[in-house]
């Protein structure tokens, strides 16, 4: 497994995303992922599956300090006291003494960012999490957050796949020593019949999804594909035995389109 180093954090390059995974399916897939060699699991308070993620982690029998576990605080808990309480409740559901990374799930313009970041840093100092970071932050918000946060931020977790240009976010994170963690890294399956990815995949005997994930990892981005299918777990982690050429990387960058974003909500920030 390759790792992404970011402001003191060492984030496994491939992780398992669990958005929309629920109940026993979620627990089973987390357990299987860890048994197959995954060492990075991503959940969130709002996914309503922290309990099952915790069950899966324990059932896998992997040493806790070998697993990089992320959860996120939902935006209605950004007032300082709420944030600490919410983080502690996540730990109770996960049945863990701490997580490795605690993120602000989306920006919330209704609570001053400096106050929320102060509370996030406090959660780190209390030992509730080893590292802190943000998710769905634009370049302007990353810059504001870095200035306001009393502790280093390890990452910005954002939607990222070949159809969405994230060059500006990548550059801002690199400037601040932060990692980019990519959710929806295979564009919710939309890449599976992509001619460019199929052609590049044929050269390396890899699937379009594997080409996508390799393309992200070669940019020093950590990717957290979600799946509920065991066979996909193996496919998604089997990307460390080939390399894309510079030309292939460029051909994949050219797939980006202004309409490439797949996850947007009324409460989302104005994307730069
Ligand atoms: C509402 C959840 C978005 C991805 O984490």
CATH of the domain at 155: 3.20.20.100
pLDDT recorded at residue 173? 98
> Active-site residue numbers?
47
Residue 181, pLDDT > 80, answer yes
Q: Ligand 1, residue 72: give the atom nearest the CA.
A: 5
Residue 272, pLDDT > 80, answer no
* Cβ of residue 163 lying under 6 Å from some atom of ligand 1: no
Say if CB 157 and CB 133 are below 8 A apart. yes
Q: What are phi and psi of 123, to 5 degrees?
A: -60, -40
CA of 74 relative to ligand 1 center, distance in Å: 10
CA of 19 relative to ligand 1 center, distance in Å: 7
Q: Ligand 1, residue 44: give the atom nearest the CA.
A: 5
Q: How confident is the model at residue 94 (pLDDT cuts 50, 70, 90)?
A: very high
pLDDT in tens, 26-65: 999 999 999 999 999 999 999 999 999 999 999 999 999 9
> Count of CB atoms within 10 A of residue 79's CB?
17
pLDDT in tens, 106-162: 999 999 999 999 999 999 999 999 999 999 999 999 999 999 999 999 999 999 999
Residue 87's domain spans which residues?
3-189+215-228
Q: Tell me, yes or no, whether 173 lies in a domain.
A: yes
Q: Tell me, yes or no, whether 250 lies in a domain.
A: no
Arithmetic mean of pLDDT, 80-98: 97
Nearest CA to ligand 1 atom 1: 46
Q: Tell me, yes or no, whether 141 lies in a domain.
A: yes
Structural domains of the chain, count: 1
Q: Tell me, yes or no, whether 247 lies in a domain.
A: no
pTM reported for the whole predicted model: 0.97
* Cβ of residue 74 lying under 6 Å from some atom of ligand 1: no
Q: Tell me, yes or no, whether 254 lies in a domain.
A: no
Q: Tell me, yes or no, whether 52 lies in a domain.
A: yes
Q: What are phi and psi of 164, to 5 degrees?
A: -125, 120
Q: Tell me, yes or no, whether 203 lies in a domain.
A: no
* Cβ of residue 19 lying under 6 Å from some atom of ligand 1: yes
Q: Ligand 1, residue 263: give the atom nearest the CA.
A: 3
Token pair recorded at residue 249: 């990387």
Q: Tell me, yes or no, whether 32 lies in a domain.
A: yes
pLDDT recorded at residue 97? 97
């Amino acid at each position: 497994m390759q790792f992404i180093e970011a402001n003191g954090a060492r984030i496994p390059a491939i992780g398992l995303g669990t958005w929309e995974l629920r109940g026993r399916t979620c627990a089973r897939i987390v357990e299987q992922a860890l048994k197959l060699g995954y060492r990075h699991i991503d959940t969130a308070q709002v996914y309503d599956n922290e309990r099952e993620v915790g069950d899966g982690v324990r059932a896998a029998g992997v040493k806790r300090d070998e697993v990089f576990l992320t959860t996120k605080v939902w935006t209605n808990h950004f007032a300082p006291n709420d944030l600490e309480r919410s983080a502690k409740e996540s730990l109770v559901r996960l049945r863990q003494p701490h997580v490795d990374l605690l993120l602000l799930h989306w920006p919330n313009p209704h609570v001053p960012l400096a106050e929320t970041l102060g509370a996030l840093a406090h959660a780190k100092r209390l030992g509730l999490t080893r590292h802190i970071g943000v998710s769905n932050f634009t370049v302007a918000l990353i810059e504001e957050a870095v200035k306001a946060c009393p502790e280093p931020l390890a990452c910005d977790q954002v939607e990222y796949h070949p159809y969405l240009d994230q060059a500006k976010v990548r550059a801002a994170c690199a400037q601040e020593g932060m990692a980019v963690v990519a959710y929806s890294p295979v564009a919710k399956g939309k890449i599976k019949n992509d001619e460019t990815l199929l052609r590049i995949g044929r050269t390396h005997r890899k699937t379009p999804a594997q080409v996508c994930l390799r393309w992200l990892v070669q940019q020093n981005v950590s990717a957290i594909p979600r799946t509920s299918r065991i066979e996909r777990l193996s496919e998604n982690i089997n990307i460390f035995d080939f390399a894309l050429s510079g030309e292939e990387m460029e051909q994949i960058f050219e797939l980006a389109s202004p309409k490439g974003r797949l996850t947007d909500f009324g409460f989302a920030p104005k994307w730069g």
